[in-house]
Structure 1
Amino acid sequence: MDSLATDGVEPTGDSVDDLVSHLRDQFKAVGLDPDAPAPRDPGRQTGDDPSGDTDGDTTSTRPRCDRATATANLLRGISSVADGVPPALARGFVGVSTYDLFRVLSGSEVASVTTDTDGVVRFDSLDVTPAGPDESTAAAVHECLIDELAAADRHQTELTAATPTVPLSVRDRIAAAVFDELPDGAVEPTTFAFTLPDPSELGSETMAAYTDDHPPLVRERATLDDWHRRRQPADAARFTELTDRIVNRGLRRDLDHRVLRIMTPYDDDTFAEFASGFRSLLRSGFEIRLLTRHTRQRWQWERLRDNLLGELDENRNQVTVRTYSRYKEYGRVDFEDGDDDRSEFGVHAKLQTVGGSEEGAALLGSANFMENSYHWNPECGAYTEQSRFVAAAIDFFDVVWELSAADEVALDRLQEVPDRSLYPSYYS
């Protein structure tokens, strides 16, 4: 930037004075003092003192002037070669921010301006008389930009070399403030629940029967093994693990609300896998509430009896089983005609909760309490200890539990299951 002037253009004193007078009015219009002193030298200053005397060498001899005059000089100096004023020039030459300069010029008759994302005031048009070659403005603008670049370079170097440290007490206060602003129960862990066949869990004999020597299934086994060993996300766990976590939370914590809730439409001998944990919960005073579907075949009721109640040799009075199934059209079941063919709906959710909302946990998803759901089918869901989520899950379970009160299954009734299908009490 050797020159910011246009050779051969000599401004008249009146035109400069008119520009300064106009800018002074604009400063006043936006609430800024036009007569406040601008920086003595927007470039490198090595000897200025607060009194304004120059004791050392300076690279510019431009006298101190007011904001309005400095703005006029700046506009005249860059009018022929630049299309805007960057923040460095606004601060160093006039002593204002580019936002304030924009406010002054946006209502001005001499300029049409906009701002960009870098804070530069851009000229759409600028109607001022350029400065002559004898002015010191160009050199001062040049010096100001050089100093700004040098300062930015120093700042970058300092930041690169710096090792920020925060006193422990300050960090503690920040952490406490952030924690206090969090909603209650917002920081409890949540885990993605899944089922996907795991070759190592199922065992080599089971997997050999599954794949035989069929190449596509051999490759599928390798993919499953790789996912479980290397690619399984850290925040994911199997439904089997998470059901254990539900049971263990009841055993290892002194929970005030000692209830294990299980909602599953279908079940098999998977119940037997967790029977030991269920027995321990019952011995420690827990109640187990099971919600399932009602319209089962005799063998399904017998399987429930054998796999759940058959494994619980004591404290059976703490186990309650209810069913919820309904028909979309009301009518009594005619047992002589056999099974009813009306459209049915009922429990389909899969949900487990333990404890109360402030202390417990919930597990939900697509998995029934069955072998396929826990070991084979691709299933997914979520486990959480987030108190508001747990509260919502418990409330949902309890309203269905309330609706199913008429179909509470007496345990002694399961000892001798009748040789026919069982139906909800409202229809039988």
Structure 2
Amino acid sequence: MLQVHYIKDNKEAVLAGLAKRNFKDAESTIDAVIELDENRKSTQASLDNTLAEANKISKEIGVLFKSGEVQKANVLKEKTGALKEESKQLTEKLATINTELQELLYTIPNVPNKIVPAGSSEEDNELVFEEGAIPELHDGALPHWELVKKYDIIDFELGNKITAAGFPVYKGKGARLQRALINYFLDKNSEAGYLEVQPPYLVNEASGIATGQLPDKEGQMYHDAKDDLYLIPTGEVPVTNIYRDVILKEEEFPILNTAYSPCFRREAGSYGAHVRGLNRLHQFDKVEIVRLETPENSYQALDGMVEHVKEILRELGLPYRILKLCGGDLGFTSALTYDFEAYSTSQKKWLEISSVSNFETFQANRLKLRFKNKDGKKQLAHTLNGSALALPRVLASLLENNQTPDGIKIPDVLVPYTGFDMID
């Protein structure tokens, strides 16, 4: 969430950033924020003055009663009654203004970093890196949704029977491969200095608001109305909320966490060939990395996270590319995002497998995540996160790219985790 004082002090820059995002009604929204804040301050000032006057008169009443001037004291008592009613009305007005201001701020996305390219859709994203040779497959090579049937390692129909479409059942070597990828990702992240945590998979409303998933305008989160809890769409949510309402010391940075979790997304409106098989699921596994940084170090940390994901993909032997997201494709909370895409040879398309983002102070403001700098002053930290990695499309690419007439070859780096080198 943007800070009001930042909006007021940098109005033109904020408007320019929101324009890069194609945010509708930006100017009227920002003007409304500034107007509400002015009303908030004037109402607060009136309330403070009213309370101060009431307090002053109360003291005068005590003096008058002690001196026997009861009539004068009773006159002032009537005045304090009026002041109490006025302060009540001002308190209610202030609460209404604060609610309206907060709700309006929730609708405003983060301001993109200056290097974010302009654009309206994924077609305008900027290619910044590409690596790895696309393999040539044998005649008769299959897409992954046919391969998993052939080798009986993932059953989409059975998942549909048990739950619904988008909830596959992993079987035999498919389940082992899934578990191997999770363990491999966690080990790589731990070796890089990330502390592994195992968070809850349900979060409360405050946690969803703190990381920007709530209010959920697109209705993508699964919600249990009875307990008012939400199934997590990503491990980023519970892990980042470990630090909600926390004041850190500057010397504690950087803070690095990694976590495995299932992820749950309704993906409303997702259908068609482009979401077939593992391409788009309602439940999937992901290993996340989360970093907390001081503002001056966060972009260097972002570069380090990008290099970390690169190393994992190199070891898996997947051809991949990195895109810098344009303003129109940038996530609501992000200031800068790099998307990783792996090439699916059978589908002849690039599949998004990771996003690595810097949120700057946007999440920290909602989280009330601050630190004391060397001067003892409190300031907001920067939060970052990335997928390292999301499993479904990584698995789809591995299965398709590594298929041979004799079976599916397992990347060497995963063999110690799977216990086999071929699915046949």
TM-score category (smaller protein): under 0.3
Q: TM-score, normalised by structure 2?
A: 0.21
Q: TM-score, normalised by structure 1?
A: 0.21
The structure with more strand, counted as a fraction of residues: 2
In our comparison, the structure showing a higher alpha carbon Rg is 1
